[in-house]
């Protein structure tokens, strides 16, 4: 089965990050994990490592609603640095919201492949990684 070297989760919900860590481990889709509690911390990391392929994830799971810098604000800044990344990075937004506007906005946001409903399941994670 296919695996990524580094999977990144950007989410402020401690219960969900505990859960998604266990789901990722059960799916066995990543050798390494990195977690950020808000978009600003993640953005600083990506900006600092934007030219280091080994420090960049192959897959990002980005929550929409977070303090400091939410998912939409993160995407505005991320789109400015993404072009210099030395490798492809697949990004999916995640949310427990059922707001259709969020879904349509995610679909029209550059670099966002889809909006996934929380919690992301083992089977969905495996499917995402297989398509990379």
* Residue 111 φ/ψ region, left for φ over 0, alpha for ψ in the -120 to 50 degree band, beta for the rest: left
The pLDDT value given to residue 97: 83
Which CATH number, 3.40.47.40, 3.30.365.10, 3.40.50.2300, 3.10.20.30, labels domain 36-116? Answer: 3.40.50.2300
State the Cα torsion 58-22-98-128 to the nearest 10°.
Answer: 30
Torsion angle in degrees (nearest 10) through CA of 82, 78, 39, 28 = -30
Domain ranges of the chain: 36-116
Torsion angle (degrees, nearest 10) of CA 103, 61, 119, 20:
-170
Check pLDDT > 90 for residue 119.
yes
Band (pLDDT 50/70/90 cuts) for residue 69 is: very high
Q: What is the pLDDT of residues 16-61, one digit of tens each?
A: 999 999 999 999 999 999 999 999 999 999 999 999 999 999 999 9
Q: Flag whether pLDDT at 10 surpasses 90.
A: yes
| Owner of token pair 């259709």 | 100
């Amino acid at each position: 089965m296919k695996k990524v070297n580094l999977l990144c989760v950007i989410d402020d919900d401690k219960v969900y990050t505990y859960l998604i860590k266990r789901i990722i481990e059960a799916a066995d889709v990543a050798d390494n994990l990195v977690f950020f509690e808000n978009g600003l911390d993640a953005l600083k990391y990506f900006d600092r490592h934007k030219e280091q392929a080994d420090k960049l994830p192959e897959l990002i799971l980005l929550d929409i609603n977070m303090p400091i810098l939410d998912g939409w604000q993160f995407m505005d800044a991320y789109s400015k640095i993404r072009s210099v990344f030395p490798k492809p990075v697949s990004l999916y937004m995640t949310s427990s919201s059922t707001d259709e506007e969020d879904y349509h906005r995610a679909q029209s946001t550059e670099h966002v492949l889809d909006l996934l409903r929380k919690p992301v399941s083992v089977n969905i994670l495996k499917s995402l990684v297989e398509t990379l």
